[in-house]
Amino acid sequence: MRTLALASRSHLALRALNGAYANGARDQRLGVSAFGLRFPNRVGLAAGLDKDGVAVPALAALGFGFLEVGTVTGIPQPGNERPRLFRLVEDEALINRMGFNNRGAAALAANVARVKRLHGEWLPPIGINVGKSRVVTADAAPADYRASLAAVWDVADYLAVNVSSPNTPGLRDLQATAPLRAVLAQASQVANERGQKPVLVKLSPDLDSNALSEAASVAEGEGAAGIIATNTTINRPELASAAAGETGGLSGRPVARLALSALETLVAASKLPIVSVGGVFTADDVRHRLAIGATLVQVYTSFVYRGPGLPAELSKGSVSR
């Protein structure tokens, strides 16, 4: 991230990255429209890597079809104590318990505004993922989301409401019907005041099919534009790595089965566009998710393991052979 952030400040470095890695990723045949936005391709970066929006230009230069920055909170916070991120190399997985470490919604908004001012003509859509501040109680969560959404609303192309991270105590309880409705009602109020923008809801792979369907119904009823499925899991399938016992959210290859199951459930339960994330490593994975009914896909762990050539590889391979 330090290297990508540094490269983001150099037009020469950005041109070099684009020339080396993004070839073909912006072919017009790969583009797709969803929730009122045009995406140059279907492969995006999931939230969690660039929490403060410091490397957006460099990440865009690699050929991603969209970027989701954050998760950001209204109140700046350091996150959980270190160590808090673990590689499970044998499993092609990660476990993280970062805890929404970020500099706050206002700082992220300033970073994204500056990036759009300097590079806006070639950037893909930028989503901003918003979560609950750790010190805020569950009862005050809707107001906290409202403050965060309002801070970043004007610079985001879409907003993602994160109610599914396992690393903030009580956050996942907000996926229940009444709390989720209250949070999304606040998002609707911000939209009415600041102008309509797509709001997506990010759900957990650990919800059962009934809970997923109910959350999708609430999202649709409250005017959400789409669903991101899914976040990391607290479940532990059979893993080979020594770090398998660490607490936190598991991502990567082992979560693919849960993410696919959630995708199938949501496609059957809702008409909303779905962004599928979790265990996407190959072009075959992308095509499979799209065939099931996803509109877009996101990667995170596979990008960590496979490197900067992955976005273009997946996007070019996303079309049926």
What is the tens place of the pLDDT at every residue in 98-129? 999 999 999 999 999 999 999 988 999 999 99
Closest CA to 246 of 98, 132, 133: 98
Extended strands (E) in 188-302: 199-203, 226-229, 249-252, 274-277, 296-299
Alpha carbon of 148 to those of 151, 152, 153: distances in Å?
5, 7, 8
Q: What is 2-316's CATH topology?
A: TIM Barrel (3.20.20)
**Angle between helix 209-221 and helix 256-269 axes, rounded to 10 deg:** 50
Q: What is the pLDDT of residues 183-235, one digit of tens each?
A: 999 999 999 999 999 999 999 999 999 999 999 999 999 999 999 999 999 99
Average pLDDT by consecutive 10-residue portion of the chain (321 residues)? 95 96 90 96 98 98 97 97 97 97 98 96 96 95 97 98 94 95 97 97 97 97 97 95 96 97 97 98 97 98 97 88 50
Domain coordinates in residue numbering, the chain: 2-316
What pLDDT was estimated at residue 295? 98
Closest CA to 136 of 192, 76, 188, 182: 76
Q: Where in the sequence numbering do the catalytic residues fall?
A: 165
